[in-house]
Amino acid sequence: MNESIQEWLKMSEYDLKTAAAMLKTKRYLYVAFMCQQAIEKILKAIYAQKRKELPPRTHNLLYLIDVLKLEVTDSDKVFLAQLNQFYLESRYPGKKSQLAKEMDKKKGREFLNSTKEVWECLKQMLQ
């Protein structure tokens, strides 16, 4: 595995651990945000490996799945669409407040567990 791919993977692992830390500190909005970041970065590792080039500057998980032609379940696509909103919409004050109200400990734990499952499947795609 080349250095670029290893760096993407290392950053992804760090973000996944940060999501867990955010759950412990009850910062539930940031659990979802860091889950999105972890999936984004592992997808970019896969992109770098498959395409042998820098990944595109996008945060859209579904776009990355599509461009990489990865087979994921419909339920995973729904979950990734949910994660997408926590990157894009959490950047704006009104949306951030709305998303924060939707998150609680139970939902944060669900996001983290689902992210770990998807992340492990994606990691298997790296050689």
Q: Which residue has the higher pLDDT, 83 or 90?
A: 83
Which pLDDT belongs to residue 10?
98
State yes or no: pLDDT of 90 exceeds 60.
no
On whether the CB atoms of residues 46 and 62 are closer than 8 A, the answer is: no
pTM as predicted: 0.93
Structural domains in the chain plus CATH codes: 3-124 (1.20.120.330)
Beta-carbon contacts of 26 under 8 Å, excluding residues fewer than 6 positions away, are 105
- Residue 119's pLDDT band, with cuts at 50, 70 and 90, is very high
Beta-carbon contacts of 18 under 8 Å, excluding residues fewer than 6 positions away, are 30, 34
Stretch 32-58: mean pLDDT: 96
Q: State pLDDT tens for residues 60-75.
A: 999 999 999 999 999 9
Burial of 67 (0-12, 13-18, 19+ CB in 10 A): middle
Which pLDDT belongs to residue 99?
82
On whether the CB atoms of residues 34 and 19 are closer than 8 A, the answer is: yes
